[in-house]
Structure 1
C-alpha cells in the first residue's frame, strides 16, 4: 500500500511545506495552519493537557496533508534522478559542410561538446556512441538502445526517411552509423523536458481541479463564518456549561477558543483539501510509469472525458510498411514452389516489402535464406520495379537441367519480362491481381524462366497489416463510450478494408492534413473531446488541435512537439491506458471528495453534542457514539481528522480502480462505497479512538 521508508524520506519535504507562503495556495490547509498557530498561542498562555494535545494534532494534520503531496512528488523526483543520470557530457562529431550524397572529402568532422550544438547542426554517431541531442536521422540505419528513456531493453531501428527517423539525446547507437540533424535548442532537449515535467515544475491546476478548489474555499468560508458566530453563543452558554459537571471543563481559560478552532478544522473539508494535489500529481506519475510523458495535467484530465478517438492508420493501426500476407499461386503451381521462388527473388530486394516477403516465407513455410554459389543477384530498382536472381543449374528442381531466372515485382513490369522471354500471361493472373487490388492490397507477381520461355508462378499479396490485439482494444474503448475513427490518405476501398479488419467505428479516407484538422474542429464544435494518436509530420496540425494529442516517440520531431503527450513505447493501443488513467484520476477525485464530505458527518455528531448539550439537552440524543466526555469527543474527532489523511494517501497515489461502465453505475458505486463508507467508518474509528484515549489519558 505505502512504503514506510518512502514516508520517512518525504517527511523533511513535508515540514518545509509548512511555510505559510507555500501553503497559501491550498486555502483549506492554510486555514488549518492558522488554527494550529492560534491554539499554540492559547496553549502557551493557558497551558492545559487538552490544549497541547489538540495543538499537536492540528499541526500533524497540516504535516500529514503536506506529506501526501510530498510523497507524490518524491516519486517524480526519483524518476527525474534516474533520467538525469542518463544525461552525460557527450562529445559530438559535428560534420561541417555535409550535404546528402556528398563525397567524404567534401565535409570536415570536428569534435565539439554536445552542449554547443545548435538546431540544424549535422553530427555523426558511430556504433557505441551516445546520441548527443534530439534530432532526425538523415542518413543511415542503425539499432538504437532507448532503454534509458523508455525503460525497455529491446533495441529499436532508426533510419533515415519515413516516420522512424527521430532519435533522442542520451540514447546509444548499437550498430552501424547514423548521420543526425539536430532539432533541439540548447537546454531544450526532450530529456530536459522529461526531467522538468516529472519533477512537477510545470504542473498546473486543471479546470476541474480549480473548480473543486473554489468549492472548498467557499465551504471553508461558510464554516469559518459559522464558527465565528458561535463565539457569542459560547459566552452566553458559559455559565450553563460551568454548572454542568460533564461540560465544565470546556469553560476553562483558553479551552473555549481551542474547542472552536477544533470545530472549524473538523467542519471544513480537510481530507480532500489535503489529498487534492497528491491525486493530480499521482495521475501524471502513473502515466510516466507507463512510459507516457504528459506535458500538462490538463491533458491527463481531458483524457478522462474523451469520447472520440482519431487514429492515424500507418504506423498506428497498421505497421509502417506493407507486408507480405499471402502467396497466391496461378494455375496448378504448388504454393511451396511459389514461396521458394518469392523468397529467392526477394533476397536482393532491400526494401521493407522485400524483407517482409523473406520473413513471411520463413514464418509460414519454414523457408530460410539460402546462399547459392555462382548466383547473380538482380537488386530492386525504382526504374525496373523488379528484383530477382539468376541461378546456376536448377536450384528449385535439381532433377531438371539448365539455369533458372526468377523475378518478382510490379505486375506490369514482370508481365513485360515474361512476354520478353516468350511467355504468356494467363487470364487467372489478371483476376488475382484485380482481387488483391480491390481488397486494398498491393499485388507483386513472381515469374520463372527455366532456360526456355518464362512462366508466371503466382502473386504475393502485400497489405497493410493491422497490429495484433487492436480489435479487442477497440471493443474495450467502445464499452467506455469512446468512438474510434481511422484517418488515412488511402483510397476508400483500402480504408474500408483496413477499418473493418481493425474494428474501428468509422474512417476518413484520402485525408489531407487539412481534412484531419477540419474533422477535429467539427467534432469539437459538437461538444466532443477529441484524442488523436499519430507519428508523422502530416499529423502535427491535428495533434495540436486535439484535446489530447498523443505522439509516438518513434515519430518525427514535429509530431512530438505538436502533441501534449508522447508515448515513449510508440504503442498506439497505449491510448486506452491513457484514457483509463484519466478516468481513474477523475473517479479518484470524486470518490475522495464524497468520502471527505461524508466523514464530516461523524465529526459533527462527535463535537456538536459535546459542546452544547448543557445548553440544549436535546442534543444529547445525537451522541449516538456514547463518547466518554466532551473533551475526549473533541480530541477523538481531531485525531481522526488527522489520521484519516495518512490512511488515504495510498488510495490517492494508486487511484480508485476503474471499470468500464456507465456514468450512472459509477455514481451508484461511488455513493455506496465512498458515501456510505465515509459515514460508517468514521463513527467506528472515532469511538475506537475515544476508548483508546480514555485508557491512556484517564483524566481527559
Structure 2
C-alpha cells in the first residue's frame, strides 16, 4: 500500500532512487527517500539479502591461501647447508695436516670454519624481502595507496584483468547537473534559480544535484511559497504570482502540455534523468542530471591497457547506461544489471579461466566480489564493509591510484629479485673464498674479520637497494 522512491545503492550500487508502487519488492537495509508505504516482510534473519551478502564475504575470505615468501623457503635449508660446508672445510684442512703440519692445518681449518659461518650469515637473504616490502608499503601510503599486507603487494604485479564497479569507482557516485536546455525567453540563470528554489524543498538526490549546481554557479534561489509534492511526478510552488512545476514528462501530460519525448529518449537510455520546468501554459526548459564520470577515469583505463591489462565493468545499472559509460571511458567488457552474487560468480568465472583478477569497488554490494578476487581494491570514499574486505584502499576514491599501485608492486618485486640475486651471488663467491677454495691457486684465505665486513656490506647493499624505491616515480 502506498508509493515512494527507495535508495537501493546498498544492493545495486546505483545512486538514483527507484520508484516503488504496490506489489513491488523492497530490500531490507535500503532507504526510503520520499513518501510512505506499508510493506510485508517475506524474509527475515539469515534469509535476507544482507545476510546472504555477509555469508558470501566470509566464504570468499576463508578460501584465500596465504603466500609463502621465497626467501623463507631458502632460509629453512640455508643454515644447515652452511654448517655442513663449514664442517667440511675444517675436515678437508685437517686432512692436509700431513702436508702442512697439524698446527697450520688446524689454524687454516678453524679460520675457514669461522669465516664460512660469518660470511654466510643469512642476513642479506632475510632482509631481501621485508626491506623492499616495508619501503613499498610506505611509499604507497604517501601516494594515497593503503596496502593491508605484504601478500597483496607481492601479487598485485601479476594481475592481468581489472574488474571495476561503475558507481563510485568509474563515476562520482552522486547525481550532477550535466546539461540545461532553455525553451523560453528567460535567462538560463533564472531557470536554474527557479528550479533550485523548487528543489530546495525536496530531499530527492536529483534535487540535491540542482541545488549544488546553483551553489557552484553562485545563483541564488528564488523565494517560493505554496510548495506541494505531486506524488510520482514532481512538485510545484509559487514564485511571486506564477505557479511553476518541476518534474518528469508525466507531469507535463497532466498539465496538458505537449513535449517531444524522443528528444530526450536517447539520453535517458544512457542513465540521464530529465527534470522539466514548466508553468501552467508552457514548457520553460529542462535540465539533465546524471552520475558524472570521474575525470581521472579516462587516463586510468588507458594506462591499464598500456600495461597489458584487460578491463571489465560490473554494475547493477541498466545495460544502455553501462555501455555508454564504458564506451566513453574505453572499458573492454560490460556486464550490467547484476546483483552481488552475480558479481561474485563473474570473478570466479574469470579465475577459472586462469586470470589473476583485481576487483575495484566501493559498496556493500561489491564486498563478496572484493573478497573473492585475487586482489580486492576499495575506494576510500566507499563503505566500511568494502574497505574492510579489500586488500588495498585508494584514498579519496581516485581510480588513477590503481595504476600507481600496480607499478609500485612491479618496482617492489623487481627490488626483491635484485636483493635475492645479490644475496646469492655474494654467498656463491664468499663461501668458497672463506673456505679456502682459492688457496692452492692464489694463496687466498679470507680472514674472519674481513668476512664479517663483507657480511655487513651485503646487508647494507640490500637495504640501500630497497631504499632506492623511495625515489621511483610511479
TM-score, with length taken from structure 1: 0.53
Q: Distance in 2 between matches of 1:493 and 1:316?
A: 18
| Residue 416 (str. 1) matches residue 275 (str. 2) | no
Equivalent position to 1:464, from 284, 291, 294 = 291
- Let me know the Cα RMSD of the aligned residues: 3.5
Q: Which residue of 1 aligns with 2:421?
A: 594
- Structure 1 residues 446 and 371: CA distance shift in structure 2, 3 A: closer
Q: Which residue of 2 aligns with 1:307?
A: 160
Greater RCO, 1 or 2 (C-alpha within 8 Å, sep 6+): 2
Q: Distance in 1 between matches of 2:120 and 2:109?
A: 16
Alignment of 1:192-271 (within 5 A): 207-209=67-69, 211-238=70-97, 240-241=99-100, 251=104, 256-267=109-120, 270-271=123-124
- Structure 1 residues 642 and 161: CA distance shift in structure 2, 3 A: same
Q: Which residue of 1 aligns with 2:466?
A: 652
- Structure 1 residues 309 and 657: CA distance shift in structure 2, 3 A: farther
Alignment of 1:351-370 (within 5 A): 351-361=204-214, 363=216, 366-370=217-221
Q: Deviations over 1:182-228 (max 9, x none)?
A: xxxxxxxxxxxxxxxxxxxxxxx95251x332234345544443332
Tell me the number of residue pairs that the alignment of Structure 1 and Structure 2 aligns: 416
Equivalent position to 2:174, from 318, 321, 332 = 321
Q: Distance in 2 between matches of 1:382 and 1:289?
A: 51
1:285, distance to aligned residue in structure 2 (A): 4.4
SS at 1:549 equivalent: strand
Q: Which residue of 1 aligns with 2:37?
A: none
Q: Distance in 2 between matches of 1:208 and 1:592?
A: 17
1:636, distance to aligned residue in structure 2 (A): 2.9
Alignment of 1:444-459 (within 5 A): 444-449=275-280, 454-459=281-286
1:465, distance to aligned residue in structure 2 (A): 0.4
Q: Distance in 1 between matches of 2:122 and 2:307?
A: 31
- Structure 1 residues 513 and 579: CA distance shift in structure 2, 3 A: same
Q: Distance in 2 between matches of 1:257 and 1:584?
A: 42
Q: Distance in 2 between matches of 1:265 and 1:330?
A: 87
Any conservation in 2 of the 1:464–1:498 contact (CA below 8 Å)? no
Q: Distance in 2 between matches of 1:349 and 1:359?
A: 13
Q: Which residue of 2 aligns with 1:387?
A: 235
* Unaligned stretches of 5+ residues in structure 2: 1-9, 11-28, 32-64
Any conservation in 2 of the 1:408–1:414 contact (CA below 8 Å)? no
Q: Which has the larger radius of gyration?
A: 1
Alignment of 1:242-641 (within 5 A): 251=104, 256-267=109-120, 270-290=123-143, 293-330=146-183, 335-336=188-189, 338-361=191-214, 363=216, 366-370=217-221, 372=223, 375-376=224-225, 378=227, 381=229, 383-392=231-240, 403-417=241-255, 419=256, 424-427=257-260, 430-449=261-280, 454-567=281-394, 569-603=396-430, 606-607=433-434, 611=436, 616=440, 619-620=441-442, 630=445, 635-641=449-455
1:306, distance to aligned residue in structure 2 (A): 1.8
1:239, distance to aligned residue in structure 2 (A): 5.6
Alignment of 1:121-136 (within 5 A): none
Q: Deviations over 1:459-506 (max 9, x none)?
A: 211112011111111222222222221111112110011112233222
- Structure 1 residues 343 and 613: CA distance shift in structure 2, 3 A: closer
1:326, distance to aligned residue in structure 2 (A): 0.4
Q: Deviations over 1:35-58 (max 9, x none)?
A: xxxxxxxxxxxxxxxxxxxxxxxx
1:425, distance to aligned residue in structure 2 (A): 1.4
Any conservation in 1 of the 2:412–2:469 contact (CA below 8 Å)? yes
Q: Distance in 2 between matches of 1:509 and 1:612?
A: 68
Q: Which residue of 2 aligns with 1:70?
A: none
TM-score, with length taken from structure 2: 0.76
Any conservation in 2 of the 1:316–1:572 contact (CA below 8 Å)? yes
Q: Distance in 1 between matches of 2:438 and 2:179?
A: 85
SS at 2:286 equivalent: strand
Any conservation in 2 of the 1:238–1:251 contact (CA below 8 Å)? yes
Structure 1 residue ranges, 4+ long, deviating more than 6 angstroms after superposition = 656-660
Q: Distance in 2 between matches of 1:274 and 1:384?
A: 65
Q: Distance in 1 between matches of 2:424 and 2:470?
A: 17
Any conservation in 1 of the 2:152–2:375 contact (CA below 8 Å)? yes
SS at 1:316 equivalent: helix
Q: Deviations over 1:645-692 (max 9, x none)?
A: 1343244356377788xxxxxxxxxxxxxxxxxxxxxxxxxxxxxxxx
1:558, distance to aligned residue in structure 2 (A): 3.6
Q: Distance in 2 between matches of 1:324 and 1:569?
A: 22
- Structure 1 residues 481 and 659: CA distance shift in structure 2, 3 A: farther
SS at 1:235 equivalent: helix
SS at 1:314 equivalent: helix
1:279, distance to aligned residue in structure 2 (A): 3.2
SS at 1:481 equivalent: coil
Equivalent position to 1:642, from 442, 451, 456 = 456
- Structure 1 residues 370 and 656: CA distance shift in structure 2, 3 A: closer
SS at 2:449 equivalent: helix
SS at 1:464 equivalent: strand
SS at 1:425 equivalent: coil
